């Protein structure tokens, strides 16, 4: 299959997932979105599971490309840009639908090693990006020298994931959560009077 066909099918999978959720996702839904026959999807992917795994890999590439690179701006600016992207960008309706579907997929992880492996990669790439930005900020002196990049990144990634879950489960405003996280960065990563901020 050529790249265009693959991209078209995977983008149709994205739209079908947003519309139907994961539990109700069928190859037929995907075929409808792609304006193709069900048979032509099956010609490329022998099962819904294989197509979905391919879709998670496609998502990983998109996600990695979307995260701000570790160049351009100071570490503080890079971290703000990253938080802006992961916390608020997807607040519009399609983003909320996608976030809901992704939470459903997360609940499937314990039942599928292939799905869990992809979710671990998505989690890991965010963790590493955050950790590297914090480490660079500690290096340049923009963040407090007592901040431990691994611990702070672990903490921030957990907060980001909690913000995503609460947005879906309890309809908690992203904006309020974004403010809370910015408060954390301002008060706990920045400032010379944070000598207590060691693990």
Note the residues at the interface with a second copy (CB under 8 A). 21, 23, 96, 100-101, 103-104, 106-107, 109-110, 116, 119-120, 123, 151, 154-155, 157-166, 168-172, 176-177, 180, 183-184, 187-188, 190-191, 193-199
Q: How far is the CB of 26 from a second copy (least distance, A)?
A: 14
Q: How far is the CB of 108 from a second copy (least distance, A)?
A: 8
Question: What are the CA-CA distances from residue 108 to residues 54, 64, 79 (Å)?
Answer: 16, 22, 30
Q: For a second copy, give the closer residue by CB, 6 or 194.
A: 194
Q: For a second copy, give the closer residue by CB, 5 or 84.
A: 84
Secondary structure of residue 25 in the 3-state scheme: coil
Q: For a second copy, give the closer residue by CB, 6 or 190.
A: 190
Q: How far is the CB of 44 from a second copy (least distance, A)?
A: 27
Q: How far is the CB of 101 from a second copy (least distance, A)?
A: 8
Q: For a second copy, give the closer residue by CB, 13 or 167.
A: 167
Provide the b/e sequence for 28-66 (b: ≥16 CB within 10 Å).
Answer: ebbbbbbebeeeebeeebeebeebbbbbbebbeeeeeee
In angstroms, the CA 89 to CA 26 distance is 28
Find all residues with CB under 8 Å of 18, minimum gap 6, and list them.
94, 97, 98, 101
If phi over 0 gives left and psi between -120 and 50 gives alpha, with beta otherwise, what is residue 35?
left
User: Would you state the structure tokens that stand for residue 160, as one six-digit string?
Assistant: 């980001």
Q: For a second copy, give the closer residue by CB, 104 or 142.
A: 104
Q: For a second copy, give the closer residue by CB, 33 or 97.
A: 97
Q: How far is the CB of 72 from a second copy (least distance, A)?
A: 27
Q: How far is the CB of 152 from a second copy (least distance, A)?
A: 9
User: Would you state the structure tokens that stand for residue 173, as one six-digit string?
Assistant: 């405003």
């Amino acid at each position: 299959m050529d790249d265009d066909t693959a991209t078209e099918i995977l983008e149709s999978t994205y739209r079908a997932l947003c519309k139907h959720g994961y539990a109700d996702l069928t190859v037929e839904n995907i075929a409808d979105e792609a304006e193709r026959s069900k048979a032509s999807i099956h010609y490329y992917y022998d099962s819904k599971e294989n197509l979905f795994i391919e879709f998670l890999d496609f998502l990983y590439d998109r996600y990695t490309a979307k995260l701000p690179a570790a160049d351009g701006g100071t570490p503080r600016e890079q971290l703000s840009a990253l938080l802006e992207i992961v916390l608020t960008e997807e607040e519009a309706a399609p983003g909320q639908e996608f976030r809901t579907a992704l939470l459903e997929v997360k609940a499937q992880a314990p039942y599928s090693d292939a799905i869990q492996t992809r979710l671990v990669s998505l989690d890991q790439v965010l963790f590493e990006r955050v950790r590297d930005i914090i480490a660079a900020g500690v290096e340049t002196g923009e963040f407090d020298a007592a901040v431990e990049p691994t611990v702070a990144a672990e903490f921030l990634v957990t907060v980001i994931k909690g913000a995503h879950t609460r947005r879906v489960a309890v309809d908690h405003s992203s904006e309020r959560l974004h403010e809370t996280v910015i408060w954390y960065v301002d008060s706990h990563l920045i400032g010379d009077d944070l000598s207590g901020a060691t693990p």
